[in-house]
Amino acid sequence: MSVRKLRDALLLMGAFVALLWVVQVFNWADAYRPDADFGILPHDVSRLPEIFTAPFLHVSWQHIEGNTVPLFVLGVLAAYRGIKKFLLMTLIVAVVSGLAVWLFQSSGELTVGASGLIFGYFGYVVVRGFFDRNLLDIGLGIVAGVLYWTILSVAIPGTPGVSWIGHLGGLFGGVLAAWLLRDRAAVGAGAGGWRSGIGSGAASPAPRQAPPQSPVPPRSAPVPEHPGSRAAADLLRELEDKGI
């Protein structure tokens, strides 16, 4: 786990939640007319782009209050492995959840809210560790499942005033994103691809060994010159000078 990436995830989700509350202030001040203008209206082709704006809107203060904590917690758990992958995953969830509402919800039922993203993050966090073969992510997914399994009751068909189709679509989008964005290097490694998830997960290379060197023969000590040999050499030099 990288401390820097965890910090980035906290900052990103903090900024995202703050943005939702700023939008809610303007939405409330305008008598919630932005909901009607930028919410998803099923089967209306001209309102299809609203699948990207609806997650930023809420119908009441109670609505955004109920979404804030699970959105932040699950968002951080989904983003701490990397911001780029998280943003791509969020895009997949928003599209799948929004299209599910636009295609299958009854006509005339306007839909807004970040609940689809919450369900997407939940599904992504719960299954990501199994696709990536990451033991830490599996543990975090189990914790998230224990803490937030009750939100699945909102995806039960027939819940009044709730777009269970958008929630179920978000859940499916999160699982789909976990599969599409899985760590293919870990999967391709076979049974040995399981990682603890703590640290970078990469094995450190073995230290390089110096090539063997041929032994250097010991240098022989100089042989001292005998005094007698020096005198004989001087005598021979004198005889040559005299021409003998």
> Could you give the 3-state DSSP secondary structure of residue 173?
helix
Please state, in angstroms and as integers, the Cα–Cα distance from residue 146 to each residue in 14, 126, 235, following that order.
23, 10, 109
What pLDDT score was predicted for residue 182? 92
Q: What is the pLDDT of residues 46-75, one digit of tens each?
A: 999 999 999 999 999 999 999 999 999 999
Whole-number Å distance between alpha carbons of 196 and 237: 88
pLDDT range class, residue 188, cuts 50, 70, 90: low
Q: Where are the alpha helices (DSSP H) in the chain?
A: 3-29, 33-38, 61-79, 83-104, 115-132, 135-148, 164-180, 184-187, 227-241
What pLDDT score was predicted for residue 214? 56
What pLDDT score was predicted for residue 200? 47
State which amino acid sits at residue 41.
L
pTM: 0.77
What pLDDT score was predicted for residue 232? 55
Q: What is the pLDDT of residues 67-114, one digit of tens each?
A: 999 999 999 999 999 999 999 999 999 999 999 999 999 888 899 999
Whole-number Å distance between alpha carbons of 49 and 3: 36
State which amino acid sits at residue 147.
L
Q: Which of 138-152, 164-178, 187-201, 206-220 has the lowest mean pLDDT?
A: 206-220
pLDDT greater at residue 150 or residue 48? 48
Give residue limits of the domains in the chain: 3-193
Q: Which CATH fold would you assign to the domain 3-193? A: Rhomboid-like fold (1.20.1540)
The residue behind tokens 């599904």 is 123
- For the cut 60, the answer to whether the pLDDT of residue 203 exceeds it is no
CA 94, 95, 101, 102 torsion-angle sign: positive
